[in-house]
Amino acid sequence: MSQLQAILKYQEIDTKLYKLERELASSEERKEYVKVKKFLETAPEKLDAMEVKANALKTEAAELIKKYEKMEETLQEFEHLDELVTDGADIAFYKKSAQSIAEQLKKLKVDLAALVNSIKTTDSEFQKLKKQVLVAQKQYADAAEKYKAVKASKDAEKKEIEKELAALSKEVPEELMGIYQTKRKERIFPIVGEVAGNRCPFCSMEPPLAARSKLSGGGRIECDNCHRIIFGN
Protein backbone atom coordinates (compact mmCIF):
# COMPACT_ATOMS: atom_id res chain seq x y z
CA MET A 1 0.00 0.00 0.00
CA SER A 2 1.42 3.38 -1.03
CA GLN A 3 1.77 6.31 1.37
CA LEU A 4 -1.17 8.04 -0.30
CA GLN A 5 -3.42 4.98 -0.13
CA ALA A 6 -2.48 4.38 3.51
CA ILE A 7 -3.10 7.96 4.68
CA LEU A 8 -6.31 8.27 2.63
CA LYS A 9 -7.62 5.06 4.19
CA TYR A 10 -6.69 6.40 7.61
CA GLN A 11 -8.42 9.69 6.84
CA GLU A 12 -11.53 7.88 5.63
CA ILE A 13 -11.93 6.18 9.01
CA ASP A 14 -10.83 9.31 10.87
CA THR A 15 -13.70 11.16 9.17
CA LYS A 16 -16.08 9.09 11.29
CA LEU A 17 -14.24 10.17 14.44
CA TYR A 18 -14.15 13.78 13.29
CA LYS A 19 -17.91 13.81 12.68
CA LEU A 20 -18.48 12.24 16.08
CA GLU A 21 -16.33 14.91 17.73
CA ARG A 22 -18.17 17.69 15.87
CA GLU A 23 -21.48 16.17 16.90
CA LEU A 24 -20.46 16.19 20.55
CA ALA A 25 -18.98 19.69 20.28
CA SER A 26 -22.21 21.09 18.82
CA SER A 27 -24.54 19.29 21.22
CA GLU A 28 -26.81 21.43 23.38
CA GLU A 29 -25.52 19.59 26.45
CA ARG A 30 -21.93 20.64 25.76
CA LYS A 31 -22.92 24.22 24.92
CA GLU A 32 -24.73 24.56 28.24
CA TYR A 33 -21.87 22.91 30.12
CA VAL A 34 -19.25 25.20 28.54
CA LYS A 35 -21.39 28.32 29.10
CA VAL A 36 -21.87 27.64 32.82
CA LYS A 37 -18.26 26.53 33.26
CA LYS A 38 -16.95 29.70 31.60
CA PHE A 39 -19.18 31.88 33.78
CA LEU A 40 -17.92 30.22 36.97
CA GLU A 41 -14.33 30.58 35.81
CA THR A 42 -14.69 34.31 35.14
CA ALA A 43 -16.83 35.09 38.21
CA PRO A 44 -13.85 35.38 40.64
CA GLU A 45 -12.22 37.97 38.36
CA LYS A 46 -15.44 39.98 38.28
CA LEU A 47 -15.74 39.79 42.06
CA ASP A 48 -12.13 40.97 42.41
CA ALA A 49 -12.90 43.92 40.14
CA MET A 50 -15.87 44.81 42.31
CA GLU A 51 -13.67 44.63 45.40
CA VAL A 52 -11.19 47.05 43.80
CA LYS A 53 -14.06 49.37 42.94
CA ALA A 54 -15.47 49.12 46.49
CA ASN A 55 -12.06 50.03 47.96
CA ALA A 56 -11.87 53.01 45.61
CA LEU A 57 -15.30 54.16 46.76
CA LYS A 58 -14.20 53.73 50.37
CA THR A 59 -11.16 55.94 49.72
CA GLU A 60 -13.35 58.52 48.00
CA ALA A 61 -15.73 58.53 50.96
CA ALA A 62 -12.82 59.10 53.36
CA GLU A 63 -11.66 62.06 51.27
CA LEU A 64 -15.13 63.61 51.32
CA ILE A 65 -15.28 63.19 55.10
CA LYS A 66 -11.95 65.01 55.42
CA LYS A 67 -13.26 67.86 53.28
CA TYR A 68 -16.39 68.09 55.41
CA GLU A 69 -14.41 68.11 58.65
CA LYS A 70 -12.16 70.85 57.29
CA MET A 71 -15.17 72.98 56.35
CA GLU A 72 -16.66 72.33 59.77
CA GLU A 73 -13.52 73.72 61.39
CA THR A 74 -13.73 76.79 59.15
CA LEU A 75 -17.38 77.33 60.06
CA GLN A 76 -16.44 77.45 63.72
CA GLU A 77 -14.65 80.70 63.01
CA PHE A 78 -18.03 82.27 62.23
CA GLU A 79 -19.49 81.49 65.69
CA HIS A 80 -18.25 84.78 67.11
CA LEU A 81 -18.55 86.85 63.93
CA ASP A 82 -20.49 89.62 65.67
CA GLU A 83 -17.71 90.11 68.22
CA LEU A 84 -15.05 90.06 65.49
CA VAL A 85 -16.88 92.71 63.47
CA THR A 86 -17.33 94.83 66.58
CA ASP A 87 -13.61 94.58 67.24
CA GLY A 88 -12.93 95.90 63.73
CA ALA A 89 -12.55 92.70 61.70
CA ASP A 90 -12.90 92.99 57.91
CA ILE A 91 -16.45 91.77 57.18
CA ALA A 92 -15.61 91.56 53.45
CA PHE A 93 -13.08 88.84 54.22
CA TYR A 94 -15.61 86.77 56.13
CA LYS A 95 -18.24 87.33 53.45
CA LYS A 96 -15.83 86.02 50.82
CA SER A 97 -14.99 83.02 53.03
CA ALA A 98 -18.66 82.28 53.53
CA GLN A 99 -19.27 82.30 49.76
CA SER A 100 -16.30 79.98 49.25
CA ILE A 101 -17.63 77.56 51.85
CA ALA A 102 -21.08 77.69 50.30
CA GLU A 103 -19.60 76.71 46.91
CA GLN A 104 -17.59 73.92 48.50
CA LEU A 105 -20.66 72.61 50.29
CA LYS A 106 -22.59 72.68 47.03
CA LYS A 107 -19.87 70.65 45.29
CA LEU A 108 -19.64 68.31 48.26
CA LYS A 109 -23.37 67.68 48.01
CA VAL A 110 -23.03 66.77 44.32
CA ASP A 111 -20.02 64.52 45.03
CA LEU A 112 -21.87 62.78 47.86
CA ALA A 113 -24.90 62.14 45.64
CA ALA A 114 -22.65 60.63 42.95
CA LEU A 115 -20.84 58.53 45.55
CA VAL A 116 -24.08 57.22 47.03
CA ASN A 117 -25.29 56.30 43.54
CA SER A 118 -22.02 54.48 42.78
CA ILE A 119 -22.22 52.59 46.07
CA LYS A 120 -25.82 51.53 45.36
CA THR A 121 -24.94 50.46 41.82
CA THR A 122 -21.90 48.48 42.96
CA ASP A 123 -23.86 46.78 45.73
CA SER A 124 -26.65 45.92 43.28
CA GLU A 125 -24.14 44.45 40.81
CA PHE A 126 -22.48 42.46 43.59
CA GLN A 127 -25.78 41.03 44.87
CA LYS A 128 -26.82 40.16 41.31
CA LEU A 129 -23.51 38.42 40.58
CA LYS A 130 -23.64 36.54 43.88
CA LYS A 131 -27.09 35.20 43.03
CA GLN A 132 -25.93 34.28 39.52
CA VAL A 133 -22.96 32.36 40.94
CA LEU A 134 -25.22 30.39 43.30
CA VAL A 135 -27.57 29.51 40.43
CA ALA A 136 -24.65 28.62 38.13
CA GLN A 137 -23.11 26.32 40.74
CA LYS A 138 -26.33 24.31 40.80
CA GLN A 139 -26.60 24.38 37.01
CA TYR A 140 -22.98 23.27 36.58
CA ALA A 141 -23.46 19.95 38.34
CA ASP A 142 -26.56 19.23 36.25
CA ALA A 143 -24.95 20.36 32.98
CA ALA A 144 -21.79 18.34 33.67
CA GLU A 145 -23.84 15.22 34.35
CA LYS A 146 -25.88 15.62 31.15
CA TYR A 147 -22.78 16.23 29.01
CA LYS A 148 -21.07 13.25 30.62
CA ALA A 149 -24.08 11.09 29.70
CA VAL A 150 -23.98 12.28 26.08
CA LYS A 151 -20.26 11.47 25.82
CA ALA A 152 -20.83 8.08 27.41
CA SER A 153 -23.50 7.28 24.82
CA LYS A 154 -20.87 7.73 22.09
CA ASP A 155 -18.02 6.09 23.96
CA ALA A 156 -18.37 2.60 22.47
CA GLU A 157 -18.52 3.97 18.92
CA LYS A 158 -15.54 6.23 19.59
CA LYS A 159 -13.40 3.40 20.99
CA GLU A 160 -14.21 1.19 18.02
CA ILE A 161 -13.10 3.90 15.57
CA GLU A 162 -9.95 4.63 17.60
CA LYS A 163 -9.11 0.91 17.60
CA GLU A 164 -9.41 0.79 13.82
CA LEU A 165 -7.29 3.95 13.47
CA ALA A 166 -4.59 2.52 15.71
CA ALA A 167 -4.29 -0.50 13.40
CA LEU A 168 -4.25 1.65 10.24
CA SER A 169 -1.64 4.04 11.64
CA LYS A 170 0.96 1.27 11.40
CA GLU A 171 0.67 1.49 7.62
CA VAL A 172 1.42 5.23 7.57
CA PRO A 173 5.03 6.52 7.82
CA GLU A 174 5.71 8.10 11.20
CA GLU A 175 6.73 11.46 9.73
CA LEU A 176 3.55 11.70 7.63
CA MET A 177 1.40 10.69 10.59
CA GLY A 178 3.06 13.41 12.66
CA ILE A 179 2.17 16.03 10.02
CA TYR A 180 -1.37 14.66 9.80
CA GLN A 181 -1.94 14.82 13.57
CA THR A 182 -0.54 18.35 13.76
CA LYS A 183 -2.95 19.51 11.07
CA ARG A 184 -5.76 17.67 12.85
CA LYS A 185 -5.07 19.62 16.05
CA GLU A 186 -5.18 22.84 14.02
CA ARG A 187 -8.76 21.89 13.11
CA ILE A 188 -7.90 21.38 9.45
CA PHE A 189 -10.03 18.59 7.97
CA PRO A 190 -9.91 16.81 5.64
CA ILE A 191 -6.14 16.99 5.63
CA VAL A 192 -4.84 14.91 2.73
CA GLY A 193 -5.88 14.69 -0.91
CA GLU A 194 -4.62 13.89 -4.39
CA VAL A 195 -3.86 16.76 -6.78
CA ALA A 196 -6.72 17.51 -9.19
CA GLY A 197 -5.14 18.50 -12.49
CA ASN A 198 -2.67 21.12 -11.35
CA ARG A 199 -4.82 22.35 -8.49
CA CYS A 200 -5.41 21.72 -4.82
CA PRO A 201 -8.35 19.31 -4.51
CA PHE A 202 -9.72 21.30 -1.56
CA CYS A 203 -9.44 25.01 -2.37
CA SER A 204 -8.73 24.77 -6.15
CA MET A 205 -5.67 27.02 -5.87
CA GLU A 206 -2.87 26.24 -8.31
CA PRO A 207 0.47 25.72 -6.53
CA PRO A 208 3.55 27.55 -7.85
CA LEU A 209 5.46 25.77 -10.62
CA ALA A 210 8.38 24.89 -8.32
CA ALA A 211 5.99 23.30 -5.83
CA ARG A 212 4.14 21.38 -8.56
CA SER A 213 7.39 19.81 -9.69
CA LYS A 214 7.65 18.13 -6.29
CA LEU A 215 4.39 16.29 -6.92
CA SER A 216 5.84 14.17 -9.69
CA GLY A 217 6.32 10.52 -8.82
CA GLY A 218 3.81 10.65 -5.95
CA GLY A 219 5.55 13.41 -3.99
CA ARG A 220 3.68 15.72 -1.66
CA ILE A 221 3.48 19.42 -0.86
CA GLU A 222 1.53 21.68 1.47
CA CYS A 223 -0.99 24.01 -0.16
CA ASP A 224 0.06 27.62 0.42
CA ASN A 225 -3.58 28.66 0.61
CA CYS A 226 -5.45 26.10 2.73
CA HIS A 227 -2.38 24.38 4.26
CA ARG A 228 -3.61 20.87 3.45
CA ILE A 229 -1.34 18.12 2.18
CA ILE A 230 -1.46 17.45 -1.56
CA PHE A 231 -0.09 14.24 -3.09
CA GLY A 232 0.96 13.88 -6.69
CA ASN A 233 -0.41 11.11 -8.90
Best-predicted range by mean pLDDT (62-76, 94-108, 113-127)? 113-127
Helix (H) or strand (E) segment spanning residue 230: strand 229-231
6-10, 111-115, 198-202: range with lowest mean pLDDT: 111-115
Does the pLDDT value for residue 85 go beyond 60? Answer: no
For range 118-143, the mean pLDDT: 90
Does the pLDDT value for residue 206 go beyond 90? Answer: yes
pLDDT at 231: 93
- Report how far residue 123's alpha carbon sits from residue 21's, in angstroms, rounded to the nearest whole number: 43
Q: How many other β-carbons are positioned within 10 Å of the β-carbon of residue 191?
A: 21
27-31, 43-47, 157-161, 214-218: range with lowest mean pLDDT: 214-218
Does the pLDDT value for residue 182 go beyond 90? Answer: yes
